[in-house]
Structure 1
């Protein structure tokens, strides 16, 4: 199966590192022009330069903007007035006892993990519908379905994305635009390494720390290891393609079998 995204323009939010960077690179390698986004202009330029090293012929654009704000979204639209593929990857996470999560933290998780994606969808979806092609994706998480006791505010925000995705898919019905959420399982990123070491002994070597984390905190994973970001990106690239034209309104899993259910 050849996934050819030539002539398409994509925006991947929160894509200077981790899953977002892997998705941006995967889309670029498939031929799409890709907007790489982050808040810090220097980090965005570094991410663009790194992606160009790995995909020398890639068409990459720096989108330095805080997409958790209306001003940042407007800035993104100045740089990329139209996109064919919108990947809402931007998100924050962290562990905190449930009864210690403040009102401000609840609002922050909703505004960054959910409202930012809704705002960009409102911005770009009408143009996709008018042109008769578009792909909107929300990077959700196994935490949307299996709410972690140590970060229920994060789980709440990812559950909300499943509802948002299904709702916008209905809005786009019959237009040639597909809208899906991607349920990513426990994934190996720098941020997750820090998170793992918040929960297990910091003196452990990484491979042992990872095994301990999966055994004690994610025992239901069938993969029994953290997923690599490129494995998430592979699914996103497919869902962005013409070949995925009949997949919409779904919560598509790339979770290593973590969610113990036939359906999400």
Structure 2
């Protein structure tokens, strides 16, 4: 199977590290021109330089924009008006008990995890439809279905992502544009390492080991019994973004290590 994205331009939101950066690597490796995004120019420049070093000759550029508000989304679209592939990866997660999570916590997760994807998808889909080809992928989560008790607000935002992706797929029916959501399970990334930093410091154990223990203790339905790697998630995203996945749309595709205990 040869995935060739030569001539395509891909935008990955929230892509200076973690799953987003791994997706940028995968798309660049398949020949796509890549636009990375984040909120900090220094991190974008460092990520772009690293990507150029890993994939010489690939067109890589960065756009600094905070997608937690409408103004930031508009700035991103203005800086990169024409793309073929949109990966809605930007997102946040913060464990807070339901009775301690105020409106500010819910609003922050809603604006970043849902509305950023709504805004940029609304901006880019008409151009894709006009050209007769496009890919939009929402990075949701198995938490969209297995709502985590420690961050209900996060799970709800990811359920919304799956719903928006399904609705947009139907809205774009027959246009050559596909819209899907990808559902990672627990994945070892910089964000997860930060969430577990107190336990890592307390035990002195490697971060990967602590993450794997977290999966076994708090996501006991996981079949692989470990955290996935960012590359494992990116592999599925790159396939779905390719011409090879032309008959896949409106789907919620799992790369959750079997954590969703359902057929």
Superposed pair shares fold, TM > 0.5: yes
Checking the alignment, whether the CA contact within 8 Å between 1:12 and 1:37 is kept in structure 2 is: yes
CA displacement, residues 168-225 of structure 1 (integer Å, 9 cap, x when unaligned): 0011000000000000111011110122345687324024423421221111111111
Deviation at 1:57, TM superposition (A): 1.9
Distance 2:200 2:148 in 1: 16
Distance 1:111 1:27 in 2: 27
CA RMSD, Structure 1 to Structure 2 (Å): 1.3
Stretch of structure 1 that moved more, 209-218 or 121-130: 209-218
Structure 2 matches for 1:21-170, cutoff 5 A?
21-170=21-170
SS in 2 for 1:68: coil
SS in 2 for 1:175: coil
C-alpha distance 98-198 of structure 1, shift in aligned 2 (>3 A): farther
The gaps in structure 2 that reach 5 residues or longer are none
CA displacement, residues 41-83 of structure 1 (integer Å, 9 cap, x when unaligned): 1111111001112111221111111122222222212221111
1:192 maps to 192
Distance 2:58 2:205 in 1: 36
Distance 2:177 2:202 in 1: 46
Normalising by structure 1, we get a TM-score of 0.96
Normalising by structure 2, we get a TM-score of 0.96
Checking the alignment, whether the CA contact within 8 Å between 2:92 and 2:109 is kept in structure 1 is: yes
Distance 2:75 2:235 in 1: 28
Structure 2 matches for 1:210-229, cutoff 5 A?
210-229=211-230
1:18 maps to 18
